[in-house]
Chain A
Amino acid sequence: TQLLEQSPQFLSIQEGENLTVYCNSSSVFSSLQWYRQEPGEGPVLLVTVVTGGEVKKLKRLTFQFGDARKDSSLHITAAQPGDTGLYLCAGDTGTASKLTFGTGTRLQVTL
């Protein structure tokens, strides 16, 4: 069973602070996706990374895929209350097109 462990599980910070969320596994993934989910809604795809060492930026969010394609990180600069939500990483092993979801990181940004 492939496991994707996310850390931290929960993070409460004030507006303007920076943070990093980690997604780690012992398995190699052909691609890895990050989602953000708000309460009572489905996850929304933020980014897909496919190349080892790849870095993608989405405004204040920076995503990195590990060189060995086993881990990833999400860095948020100057967090805002609108960033509050559950962040999920999900890995695709390249077979059967199933995604393995991470354990999730719940972010709360307060004023």
Chain B
Amino acid sequence: GAVVSQHPSRVICKSGTSVKIECRSLDFQATTMFWYRQFPKKSLMLMATSNEGSKATYEQGVEKDKFLINHASLTLSTLTVTSAHPEDSSFYICSAESGTRLGYEQYFGPGTRLTVT
């Protein structure tokens, strides 16, 4: 159980275009999903918290107009990188929160590697 998928796994786009990344919880419902960014050989950096049916909460320094998040259902959150630039190239990972007897645990998707040329 607790499987999270991401699509696409890799995407290459031209500078100035927009890219949408999907994050789905396959076997559970997730009121809350999270979007992270990871630079090479570094840890995960939280970008925003995605809440079903309400606006996302962005971390300090993350541009909400550039990284659009939509969490329209309990199993799907999307991250759209608008007007992408080469510096947006990165590994983007989502996670979905699932309640357990230990509290809430996050289960991660396999990540999406974005390359902006």
Q: Write the residues of chain A forming the contact surface with B, with a CB cutoff of 8 angstroms.
A: 30-31, 33, 35, 40-45, 48, 50, 88, 90, 92, 94, 96-99, 101-104, 106
- Chain B residues lying within 8 Å of A30, measured Cβ to Cβ, are 103
CB distance from A31 to the nearest CB of B (A): 5
Q: Do residues B43 and A104 form an inter-chain contact, with CB atoms below 8 A? A: yes
A-B residue pair count with CB separations less than 8 angstroms: 59
Q: Do residues B111 and A31 form an inter-chain contact, with CB atoms below 8 A? A: no
Q: Do residues A92 and B108 form an inter-chain contact, with CB atoms below 8 A? A: no
The interface residues of chain B, by DSSP majority, are classed as strand
- Chain A residues lying within 8 Å of B43, measured Cβ to Cβ, are 88, 101-104
Q: Chain B residue with minimal CB distance to A88?
A: B43
Docked CA distance A101–B44 (Å)? 6
Query: Most chain-B Cβ atoms within 10 A of its Cβ — which of A44, A97, A103, A104?
Result: A97
Q: Do residues A45 and B107 form an inter-chain contact, with CB atoms below 8 A? A: yes
Q: Do residues B111 and A98 form an inter-chain contact, with CB atoms below 8 A? A: no
Q: Do residues B108 and A44 form an inter-chain contact, with CB atoms below 8 A? A: yes
Selected from B41, B46, B102, B108, the residue in CB contact (under 8 A) with A98 is B46
Q: Do residues B105 and A33 form an inter-chain contact, with CB atoms below 8 A? A: yes
Docked CA distance A50–B103 (Å)? 9
Q: Do residues A42 and B34 form an inter-chain contact, with CB atoms below 8 A? A: no
Q: Do residues B46 and A99 form an inter-chain contact, with CB atoms below 8 A? A: yes
Q: Restricting to B1-49, which residues have a CB under 8 Å from any CB of A?
A: 4, 6, 32, 34, 41-46, 49
B113 adjacent to chain A (CB < 8 Å): yes
Query: Most chain-B Cβ atoms within 10 A of its Cβ — which of A42, A45, A96?
Result: A42
Q: Do residues A42 and B109 form an inter-chain contact, with CB atoms below 8 A? A: yes
Q: Restricting to B52-84, which residues have a CB under 8 Å from any CB of A?
A: none
Say whether, besides A97-B97, A101-B44, A41 and B105 are in contact (CB < 8 Å).
no
CB distance from A25 to the nearest CB of B (A): 14
Docked CA distance A61–B105 (Å)? 20
Q: Do residues B108 and A42 form an inter-chain contact, with CB atoms below 8 A? A: yes
